[in-house]
Structure 1
Amino acid sequence: MSESTTAGSNSDSPAGRVTRRALFGASLATAGAAAVGAVAGRATAPDPAPAPSTEPFHGARQAGISTTAQSHALFLSVDVARPDRATLRDLLTGWTATATALTAGEPLPETPGTAPGFSAHTDFATDLEPARLTLTFGLGPSLFDERFGLAAKRPRHLHPLPEFPGDVLNPAWCGGDVLVQICADDAQIVSHAFRALRARMPGLGRLRWTQHGFLTHPADGGTPRNMFGHKDGTANPRSGTAAFDRAVWIDSPDEPGWLHGGTYLVFRKIRMKTAEWDQLPLAEQDAVIGRRRSDGAPLHGTHELDPVDLESRTASGELAIPASAHIRLVHDIPMLRRSYTYDYGALIANAGGTTEEPHVHTSGTPEHTHGGHDQLDAGLLFAAYMNNPPAQFIAAQRALAAGDRLNPLIQHTGSAFFAIPPGIPQGGSIADTLLS
């Protein structure tokens, strides 16, 4: 799945502050600065500059897209509680104020009408750094139905995704009016941010689904690996390049003005059958993907970043990258994959399969009893940003669904699609231009 999934882009955000005020307590003393990932130097050398702990919330683009992928993510999908613009505006305005405080490490604003003796502060994140927290907001196709009178402002491509062959979607993990992608380098900060957003939802929004993921970058800064052990995100365009801008940011005159500078997000929950995968010979695993698991190089190449040559052949005349290999089918379809691994353990009700899924074993597999691997729900939270979904994700997914060698080893069990507005100026609110 290395061509069609995951994160790994260079951040283009400026360095932020490195301290975080205590959220609540006997005093508002400044917490100590955190040196995230700092390497100690020699006694005679100056101390290295600490890594920034904040990502700016306000700006021309929303954070959490070109931002270097953080270690933890939570995707939150919500439906607006009542069919009127005032409710939608109140939800987004409240969430803007909450996100502004959270990402800066500032005290949370109190909810209007909070009774004396109560507070929005929970102390759950007191004395913790923001850990590069970002909150990225998206608007679903359902938001542009008759409920809110926004049909005339619908983005050109924002319609429900088509059904793809092989999908086993659970409706409980699909769709939603509004999405928030919460990312940080600290799982507790992610949880705290979700809790703070949820506290602003009563009367305004109803929780539809959440999905939690994690991502670890190798110490050498290389490409992360997915649950199948393959490097994942090799083909991503790099932030700050013309290729990135062409693939991600919206500037088409065919799109409504309020969306210019934004993008689209496709979210898919993909269950990966790790037990079945682990029973395949290494050569077969590599042939399924079209890259070597060991170093990420294309099967004809030497290094991970070698150009993919679809015409290359082996000494025997066969295609070096098989006709049904994953990377062949999605080659030259650019998009930003910013995905996360998930592992929910044995949750068969959520796995999208049956308790006795049909599967095959390789020749020579000894007689055995099964260990319950059909109950495992682990895989990938695929999150891809792009500016032309029909030519990007939809084209790629149709090609994959029709002939990907990987298909017997994965299941698409959740699906959602959102327009991501541009960044929010100081003093503004999410989608102000949409609702004005």
Structure 2
Amino acid sequence: MNPVAANASTPSSDPEAGQGSQAPASGQRAAGDGPSRRRLLATAGAVGAAGLTVGAAGGALAHSATDDHAPTALSTVGSREVAFHGKHQPGITTPMQAHGHLIAFDLAPSAGRKEATALMRRWSALAGELMAGRTAEHAGADTGVALDAGPSSTTVTFGFGRTFFDRTGLVARRPEGLDPLPAFSADQLDAQRSHGDLWVQIGADDALVAFHALRAVQRAAGKTARVRWQMNGFNRSPGATEQPMTTRNLMGQVDGTNNPKPSDQDFDQRIFVAAGSGQEWLTGGSFAVVRRIRMLLDDWEALSLNHQEAVIGRRKSDGAPLTGGEETTELALDERGTDGKLVIRENAHARISAPEQNGGAAMLRRPFSYHDGIGPDGTPDAGLLFICWQADPLRGFVPVQRKLDRGDALSEFIRHEASGLYAVPGGAREGEYVGQRLLES
């Protein structure tokens, strides 16, 4: 998608209250409320299934956009804990973490539904331990990478690609939302870095903790699944700014102003699959569209500030519309300047991606930036790991991307290099593993 800035939406990375300030949000708790890697170092091997969960059902619905909480002190970053069990999987409405890993797997040729079921059991148990800040002893010898750290807002989220249903003999249960995305004229997709039977999103506020989770998930796959592709991302760290702010992308733009919020009346309707959809195993789940979008930063940075702002339709300094106000002020799309021309021009990214320009289509954007080095010619391989969540991609991502594909001014400065679409089941209830209602139906 071309939505890397402006009006298209991303949950803010605004941190929560620090020590001595406010209590953690619902679904998040301080490490002191439960065992951590440090405290379980001597007894990690004794941790059983009964100790895998913390927090209340639905706890992942902590605040995800802007709020008025005080900034988090850096010394408290490691103490935050996100609940694994709940109505929805964690990592969807969880505030954006500083570090992320995306990894896709293909089931081994000899693996089918039985093996996939065992894998999801292992992965779910592992995710519960990692998110609670425990070691990963049951998955094999723990690497020790994260022994000194607390939970650090770790989340592990699982999704199924279209081919997963073929491999497991569950084609009849495959939802229509997994129909292949249409081709877009600006796509330059690498098939080897796209799609996959299984998809895992990992987030954490500490780089070592995030890597530890990535390595643990890979090791736990064993011979059942092999890595198809893997990507690394990052965001601003909690506590890095004086007050909570919408994050910026690598173009320097405030990115995520108009993200849907859990407080919106139609939030669940837009983002999560409702009961009675005909796919009851997916109730409380969502669809994730994943796009690796390379930013042509040399070309972008050669533009003047005025030109950059015209492309986006917002001020770079604070994300406010060019028609005035502040970041959250509505776009005045009909306003014209003294020259008679539209202030927010017709092909500005903010105009084309605005929900009111797309029949109300909305997505919950939760991306990571990425940087994969600098080429021999000095060009940075950097951009956005775009992740958006919606109840139906045909009503969320697809109509907006089609419109952007036809005439977004930002298209000249970005390149879509990989793509994936995944059905993400609802959260696991106590005693369940993710995907159980599909695999055991």
Note whether the superposition's TM-score is higher than 0.5.
yes
Aligned to 1:70: 97
- The answer as to whether partners of 2:12 and 2:95 remain within 8 angstroms in 1 is yes
Query: How far apart, CA to CA, are the structure 1 residues paired with 2:308 and 2:226?
Result: 42
- The answer as to whether partners of 1:342 and 1:380 remain within 8 angstroms in 2 is yes
Deviations along 1:372-409, one digit per CA (max 9) or x if unpaired, are 24x32100010001112112111111111110111111
Aligned to 1:56: 83
Query: How far apart, CA to CA, are the structure 2 residues paired with 1:252 and 1:24?
Result: 40
Aligned to 2:12: 8
Q: How far is the alpha carbon of 1:100 from its aligned partner?
A: 1.1
Q: How far is the alpha carbon of 1:252 from its aligned partner?
A: 6.0
Query: How far apart, CA to CA, are the structure 1 residues paired with 2:206 and 2:13?
Result: 19
The one-letter amino acid paired with 1:38 is A
Aligned to 2:341: 318
- The answer as to whether partners of 1:341 and 1:379 remain within 8 angstroms in 2 is yes
Q: How far is the alpha carbon of 1:192 from its aligned partner?
A: 0.2
1:18-417 equivalences under 5 Å are: 18-19=31-32, 20-22=36-38, 37-38=72-73, 52-81=79-108, 82-111=110-139, 119-145=140-166, 147-216=167-236, 218-251=241-274, 253-332=276-355, 333-347=361-375, 372-373=377-378, 375-417=379-421
Return closer, same or farther for 1:394/1:252 CA change in 2, 3 Å cut-off: farther
Q: How far is the alpha carbon of 1:347 from its aligned partner?
A: 4.5
Query: Secondary structure of the equivalent of 1:213?
Result: strand
1:419 equivalent in alignment to 2:423: yes
Query: Secondary structure of the equivalent of 2:28?
Result: coil
Query: How far apart, CA to CA, are the structure 1 residues paired with 2:385 and 2:425?
Result: 21
Query: Secondary structure of the equivalent of 1:251?
Result: coil
Q: How far is the alpha carbon of 1:281 from its aligned partner?
A: 1.1
Aligned to 1:364: none
Query: Secondary structure of the equivalent of 1:429?
Result: coil
The one-letter amino acid paired with 1:22 is R
Q: How far is the alpha carbon of 1:160 from its aligned partner?
A: 1.9
- The answer as to whether partners of 1:53 and 1:131 remain within 8 angstroms in 2 is yes
Q: How far is the alpha carbon of 1:142 from its aligned partner?
A: 1.1
Question: Please, which moves more after superposition, 238-247 or 188-197?
Answer: 238-247
**Higher percent of residues as helix:** 2
Query: How far apart, CA to CA, are the structure 2 residues paired with 1:134 and 1:124?
Result: 17
The one-letter amino acid paired with 2:411 is N
Query: Aligned pair count?
Result: 390
Query: How far apart, CA to CA, are the structure 1 residues paired with 2:303 and 2:197?
Result: 41
Q: Which runs of 5+ in 1 are unaligned?
A: 29-35, 41-48, 112-118, 349-371
Return closer, same or farther for 1:26/1:9 CA change in 2, 3 Å cut-off: closer
Return closer, same or farther for 1:412/1:154 CA change in 2, 3 Å cut-off: same
Query: How far apart, CA to CA, are the structure 1 residues paired with 2:305 and 2:77?
Result: 41
Query: How far apart, CA to CA, are the structure 2 residues paired with 1:211 and 1:344?
Result: 9
Query: How far apart, CA to CA, are the structure 2 residues paired with 1:394 and 1:135?
Result: 26
Return closer, same or farther for 1:254/1:56 CA change in 2, 3 Å cut-off: closer
The one-letter amino acid paired with 2:420 is A
The one-letter amino acid paired with 1:292 is R
Query: Secondary structure of the equivalent of 1:157?
Result: helix
Q: How far is the alpha carbon of 1:198 from its aligned partner?
A: 1.1
Query: How far apart, CA to CA, are the structure 2 residues paired with 1:255 and 1:5?
Result: 29
Return closer, same or farther for 1:25/1:256 CA change in 2, 3 Å cut-off: closer
- The answer as to whether partners of 2:159 and 2:423 remain within 8 angstroms in 1 is yes
Q: How far is the alpha carbon of 1:308 from its aligned partner?
A: 1.2
Q: How far is the alpha carbon of 1:21 from its aligned partner?
A: 3.3
Return closer, same or farther for 1:144/1:63 CA change in 2, 3 Å cut-off: same
Q: How far is the alpha carbon of 1:91 from its aligned partner?
A: 1.2
Deviations along 1:181-211, one digit per CA (max 9) or x if unpaired, are 1000001001000111111122110101111
Query: How far apart, CA to CA, are the structure 2 residues paired with 1:15 and 1:99?
Result: 15
The one-letter amino acid paired with 1:96 is S
- The answer as to whether partners of 1:133 and 1:183 remain within 8 angstroms in 2 is yes
- The answer as to whether partners of 2:37 and 2:146 remain within 8 angstroms in 1 is no
Q: How far is the alpha carbon of 1:328 from its aligned partner?
A: 1.0
Q: Which 4+ residue blocks in structure 1 deviate beyond 4 angstroms?
A: 9-12, 23-28, 49-52
Return closer, same or farther for 1:304/1:25 CA change in 2, 3 Å cut-off: closer
Query: How far apart, CA to CA, are the structure 2 residues paired with 1:102 and 1:213?
Result: 19
Query: How far apart, CA to CA, are the structure 1 residues paired with 2:252 and 2:85?
Result: 37
Query: How far apart, CA to CA, are the structure 2 residues paired with 1:138 and 1:13?
Result: 24
Deviations along 1:339-390, one digit per CA (max 9) or x if unpaired, are 1111112257xxxxxxxxxxxxxxxxxxxxxxx24x3210001000111211
The one-letter amino acid paired with 2:31 is V
Q: How far is the alpha carbon of 1:243 from its aligned partner?
A: 3.7
Query: How far apart, CA to CA, are the structure 1 residues paired with 2:256 and 2:105?
Result: 28
- The answer as to whether partners of 1:153 and 1:256 remain within 8 angstroms in 2 is yes
TM-score, scaled to structure 1:
0.84
Q: Which runs of 5+ in 2 are unaligned?
A: 17-24, 45-70, 356-360
Query: How far apart, CA to CA, are the structure 2 residues paired with 1:7 and 1:126?
Result: 30
